[in-house]
Amino acid sequence: MNIYDSEKIITILENKGLKQNEDIENADLIVFNTCNIRDKAAHKLYSDIGRVNKYKKEKTIAVVGCVAQAESYEMFNKNKSIDIILGPQSYHLLPQMIDDLKLKPKQVNTDFIINEKFDYLAEQKRKQGISSYLTIQEGCDKFCSFCVVPYTRGPEYSRPLQSLVDEVSSLTENGAREIVLLGQNVNAFNISHNGRKITIADLIEEISKNKNVKRIRYTTSHPINMRDDLIKLHSTNDKLMPFLHLPVQSGSSKILKKMNRKYDTDFYLKIIDKLKAVNPEIEISSDFIIGYPGETESDFKQTLDLVDKIKFTQSFSFIYSSRPGTKSALEIDKTPLHIKKERLSILQEKLKDIQFEFNKNFIRKNVDVLIENQSSSNPEYFFGRTPFMQSVYIKAQKITPGEVKTVNILTCNHKNLYASC
């Protein structure tokens, strides 16, 4: 989501006549797009601002995103060099705020004007890669006890159908061949169109009609929003890839209840069974939070058991990070950090082994890869992804980015596949 937002911010500023400059020293404006999901990310922001302060003379510093939303005016007290503070649901106002600095030296906007933002963004043509993100939904009503998103991104909001279909046309005209639908709760997408209720399954069917779209993915899904129409689509829609990021967070129903995830492990396993029943090929990835307050050895063992059962082929795992303002920040956390680190390392080793075993299955097999780009440093190499999101590096004389190429896998490690054609 933040990558998508950063791309949008660049487009907005370019349309205002600014040019992107990677060289901080020569930039007139420095924009920090921030994430508040973990403590470390928020801290990093202040050390990064300190790092660019030495170039500060005549520069404007804008902080946008979720840290800006959460800390708002308080940021000016923490660092005097910040000029603009702007929440994630109003970043389309950035050009105006830059102009307004002439009238008032410190600018802040943390309003939730999400529909206005998307109306504005729809008019901003943007160029993306072969695989392009499309935000269809933002915000969250779930209030997991550890998470700041409902406070920083606001309630669930789904974009109107026509603006999404138009944006897909614009992306494919600019070369996109894979559309990755984005949302904090992407499968909670839900709108009314001409008196009809439209779900994410309907939207995927609609986008599939665009003949230039070769692949569709969606992320991040919540298990309780895995409706039957969406599950069924994994057997009937060829453009929908057989790979799903479905965060479980923990394998212990006791911890899931404390997290307010609104499902237990049985419910989660039933969803996986349903998906495998309609499409046995489907692979799952997940997020895990290790060391949530109250997690015992037995709870952790249940997480390892679940991993063994489902064999997640890719995952993100982190030690629990307490965030101010969330319910879990008030919980007493007795587990020492070194135990949490040990558990994380055990889990990550297991996940890595599973991923490596999965990748090994592809050696000496042919697999369809959507070619995303050619290496600029070594033009003999191309990069693409399999239907299961594995990264593939291909040695070839000539392939055109955007085509789906069948390649023979020669070797692999746990992260990548290597091929020739």
Q: Which residues bind ligand SF4 (CB under 6 A)?
A: 140, 142-144, 147, 149-150, 184-185, 222
Amino acid of residue 108? V
Smallest separation (angstroms) from ligand SF4 to the CB of 185: 6
Residue 141 CB, shortest distance to ligand SF4, in Å, is 8
Please calculate the CA angle 293-295-300 and round it to the nearest 5 degrees: 145
List, as one string, the DSSP characters of 152-212. HT-S-EE--HHHHHHHHHHHHHTT--EEEEE-TTGGG-EEEETTEEEEHHHHHHHHHTSTT
- Taking alpha carbons only, the member of 354, 349, 233, 345 closest to residue 285 is 354
Closest to ligand SF4 by CB, 129 or 294: 294
Answer for the pair 108, 85: CB distance below 8 angstroms, yes or no: yes
Q: Which is nearer to ligand SF4, 149 or 164 (CB)?
A: 149
Q: Residue 55 or residue 151: which is nearer to ligand SF4 going by CB?
A: 151
d(CA 410, CA 396): 13
* CB 295, min distance to ligand SF4, A: 17
Phi, psi of 230 (to 5 degrees): -75, -40
Q: How far is the CB of 338 from ligand SF4 (least distance, A)?
A: 26
Q: How far is the CB of 193 from ligand SF4 (least distance, A)?
A: 25
Question: CA 401, CA 79: separation in Å to the nearest integer?
Answer: 44
Element (H, E) at 45: helix 39-53
Q: 17: alpha, beta or left, given left = phi > 0 and alpha = psi -120 to 50?
A: left
Select 218 or 358, whichever has its Cβ closest to ligand SF4. Answer: 218
Neighbours of 92 (CB within 10 A): 20
143 or 356: CB nearest ligand SF4: 143
The sign one gets for the Cα dihedral 370, 179, 171, 20 is negative
Reduced to 3 DSSP states, what percent helix, strand and coil does the chain have, rounded to the nearest 5?
A: 40, 25, 40
Work out how close the CB of 126 gets to ligand SF4 at its nearest, in angstroms, rounded to a whole number.
25
Q: Which is nearer to ligand SF4, 1 or 164 (by Cβ)?
A: 1
Strands 60-65 and 29-34: parallel
Give the residue with the Cβ less far from ligand SF4, 13 or 144: 144
Note every long-range contact of 354-357, with CB atoms under 8 Å and residues 24 or more positions apart, other chains counting. 354/307, 354/311, 354/312, 354/313, 355/313, 355/314, 355/414, 355/415, 356/412, 356/413, 356/414
* Residue 248 C-beta: closest distance to ligand SF4, Å: 11
Q: Are 161 and 198 in contact (CB under 8 A)?
A: yes
Nearer to ligand SF4, 37 or 98 (CB): 37
Tokens matching residue 47:
């050390």
Beta-bridge partner residues of 135: 182
Least distance in angstroms from the C-beta of 144 to ligand SF4: 3
State which residue, 184 or 328, has the beta carbon closest to ligand SF4: 184
Tell me whether residue 61 or residue 246 sits nearer to ligand SF4 (CB atom): 246
